């Protein structure tokens, strides 16, 4: 078991979950109202809030916030998305998770360029996107990236964490099984 000395310092106070399509997981989150053993409040919202950026900024003032945008790419305001991924994520004590199936849509250019982490899952229809990402992020090591992706996503719901945070050492850029409470050891992919 891994313990984190800064767990309280890094504690998220609010999860603001905006969804485009309702499912049973969202209903369960809404019913509970809290996650993390009651330490973190969850607010579930259908679509984007009417108040846009200002509303999100107000919510973020109450402490560290995680904003989740799930299945909302159709009809999302470009200015809203760009502001959330620039001013919002850098200045409002807020982290953003954008769940999307198309990494290279023109609407995502600012969001993609301001993301510190990408979580990639298997999507046979998106193979070209993965190859394009490999050549952009690892121009001289794209084979290493593609092999890491293939290995990490070979099982159902497998994922590859691409860590492009500026302070991350190069040898920790590609990982899977990152959650310490699952019983699986973290795998770090290192170039040969």
The band of 7, judged by pLDDT with boundaries at 50, 70 and 90, is very low
Secondary structure (3-state) at 159? strand
**What's the pLDDT score for residue 124?**
87
Tell me which range, 9-13, 44-48, 180-184, is most confidently predicted by mean pLDDT: 44-48
- Note whether 168 and 115 are within 8 A (CB): no
Percent above pLDDT 70 for the chain? 94
Residue with tokens 């330490």: 39
Contacts of residue 98, defined as CB under 8 A and 6 or more positions apart, other chains included, come to: 69, 81, 85, 108, 111, 115
Mean pLDDT throughout 23-46?
90
For the chain, the domains span 1-115, 116-192
Strand residue runs (E) in the chain: 14-19, 34-35, 40-46, 65-70, 94-99, 117-121, 159-163, 174-176, 187-188
Mean pLDDT throughout 59-74?
89
* H or E segment to which residue 151 belongs: helix 142-152
Mean pLDDT throughout 22-42?
89
The per-residue DSSP string of 60-101 comes to HTTS-EEEEEES--TT--HHHHHHIIIIIHHHSSEEEEEE-S
Q: How far apart are CA 34 and CA 185, in angstroms?
A: 28
Pick the CATH number of 1-115 from 1.10.30, 3.30.70, 3.40.50, 1.10.3470: 3.40.50
Sheet of 14-19, strand order:
34-35, 40-46, 14-19, 65-70, 94-99
- Note whether 83 and 53 are within 8 A (CB): yes
């Amino acid at each position: 078991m891994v313990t984190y000395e800064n767990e309280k310092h890094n504690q998220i106070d609010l999860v603001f979950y905006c969804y485009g399509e309702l499912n049973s997981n969202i209903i369960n989150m809404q019913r509970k109202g809290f996650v993390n053993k009651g330490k973190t409040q969850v607010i579930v919202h259908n679509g984007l809030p009417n108040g846009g950026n200002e509303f999100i900024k107000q919510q973020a003032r109450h402490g560290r916030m995680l904003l989740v945008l799930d299945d909302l790419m159709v009809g999302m305001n470009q200015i809203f998305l760009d502001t959330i991924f620039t001013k919002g994520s850098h200045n409002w004590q807020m982290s953003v998770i954008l769940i999307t199936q198309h990494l290279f849509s023109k609407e995502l250019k600012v969001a993609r360029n301001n993301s510190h982490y990408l979580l990639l899952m298997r999507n046979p229809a998106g193979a070209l996107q993965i190859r394009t990402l490999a050549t952009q992020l690892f121009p001289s090591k794209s084979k290493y990236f593609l092999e890491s992706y293939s290995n990490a996503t070979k099982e159902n719901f497998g994922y590859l964490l691409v860590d492009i945070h500026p302070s991350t050492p190069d040898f920790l850029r590609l990982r899977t099984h990152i959650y310490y409470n699952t019983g699986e050891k973290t795998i770090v992919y290192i170039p040969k």
